[in-house]
Amino acid sequence: MTNTGTQRANLAVVTMAIPTPPPTEPTMSHTTVKAIAERLNSLLEIDKYADLALNGLQIESPILEVRKVALAVDAGLSIVEQAADHHCQMLIVHHGVLWGQCAAIVGPWARKLQACMTRGISIYAAHLPLDGHMELGNAAQLAQELGLENIAPEFPYKGATIGVRGQLTTPRSAQEVASQLCKFEGALQPPLVLPFGPPIIKTVGIATGAASTLSPECAASGIDLLITGESKQEAYHLAKEHQCSVICMGHYASETFGVRALERVLQREFRVETCWISEPTGI
Ligand SMILES: [Zn+2]
């Protein structure tokens, strides 16, 4: 998005000869790490969530001006390096690098921190706030993608909710819902289906990430099908005994939606360039 001196000179000549029409595309702009972090903290109400993860700005690099933001599900070293290769100054993720434990800055963690500092990448993370947010959250966004009706908060966790419930406009089988989920980035092919609920699904609960053992809560709330990301061994008999269907579409695949929604917020409100970094884990 940069012009050379020659291009600028040519542009100036053209501008003098022909009146410049109003721009049809929003002009890309720049902002600061602090401005983006403060806006997202407020938008996502990060203080509402009791979370193991540190939500908010996790790493502040020496480069405080932001022209381009990378967004991804995870904050692996390969993601940080891709963000730097794409000339970004900030990386926004769902799974950050600080999870409530004090870790010595040695080994891979030291190298990641060094990459952030030397290549100018600040990291902002939103974990549970980006699961439970009723507009921008992973669960709410997936519910919209599936066209659910009567979407409402579900799955209470320490004073907040971390998922949603809703109703299918056309009731159908769990297998049919699973085939709809195949189209999303990084989805398991096919998703894992535990078909122990009613043969025709009307009410769906969504709790993204690793929530496959929530079938008892679903059954108690009249939910026929739980959609989540990653499965656990105990999920099978829990679902069977509670007569609730479960679909595991993949942890990564279930958690692209929130950061994608934040990307649209950044483009709309800050007019910065953005860059989606895809690295599905297959998990
Ligand atoms: Zn997760």
Distance in Å, CA 40 to ligand 1 centroid = 18
Distance in Å, CA 29 to ligand 1 centroid = 31
Task: Report if residue 37 sits inside a domain.
Answer: yes
Distance in Å, CA 93 to ligand 1 centroid = 10
Which one, of 65, 59, 71, 68, lies nearest residue 31 by Cα?
65
Model pLDDT, residue 28: 76
Task: Report if residue 20 sits inside a domain.
Answer: no
Distance in Å, CA 28 to ligand 1 centroid = 31
Which alpha helices (DSSP H) does the chain contain, by range? 5-17, 33-43, 77-85, 107-119, 128-132, 138-145, 174-181, 215-220, 235-241, 251-254, 257-269
Task: Report if residue 48 sits inside a domain.
Answer: yes
How many separate domains does the chain show?
Answer: 2
Distance in Å, CA 62 to ligand 1 centroid = 28
Distance in Å, CA 197 to ligand 1 centroid = 25
Q: Which residues of 264-275 are buried (b: 16+ CB within 10 A; e: fewer)?
A: ebbeeebebbbb
Distance in Å, CA 201 to ligand 1 centroid = 25
DSSP structural state of residue 255 = T
Model pLDDT, residue 10: 40
Q: Does 91 share its domain with 35?
A: yes
Distance in Å, CA 119 to ligand 1 centroid = 26
Model pLDDT, residue 19: 45
For residue 114, what is the domain's CATH number?
3.40.1390.30
Distance in Å, CA 164 to ligand 1 centroid = 16
Which one, of 277, 204, 270, 281, lies nearest residue 27 by Cα?
270
What is the length of the chain? 283
Distance in Å, CA 260 to ligand 1 centroid = 15
Model pLDDT, residue 9: 38
Q: Does 219 share its domain with 248?
A: yes
Task: Report if residue 11 sits inside a domain.
Answer: no
What is the reported pTM? 0.89
Distance in Å, CA 252 to ligand 1 centroid = 7
C-alpha span between 25 and 28 (Å, rounded): 9
Task: Report if residue 250 sits inside a domain.
Answer: yes
Q: Does 222 share its domain with 263?
A: no
- Structural domain range at position 52: 27-129+257-276
For the stretch 209-264, pLDDT in tens is 999 999 999 999 999 999 999 999 999 999 999 999 999 999 999 999 999 999 99
Distance in Å, CA 166 to ligand 1 centroid = 21
pLDDT tens series, the chain, 283 aa: 433 333 433 433 334 444 454 554 556 788 999 999 999 999 999 999 999 999 999 999 999 999 999 999 999 999 999 999 999 999 999 999 999 888 899 999 999 999 999 999 999 999 999 999 999 999 999 999 999 999 999 999 999 999 999 999 999 999 999 999 999 999 999 999 999 999 999 999 999 999 999 999 999 999 999 999 999 999 999 999 999 999 999 999 999 999 999 999 999 999 999 999 999 999 9
Model pLDDT, residue 29: 83
DSSP states of 143-175 as a string?
A: HHHTT-EEEEEEEEETTEEEEEEEEEEEEE-HH
Distance in Å, CA 263 to ligand 1 centroid = 18
Distance in Å, CA 13 to ligand 1 centroid = 53
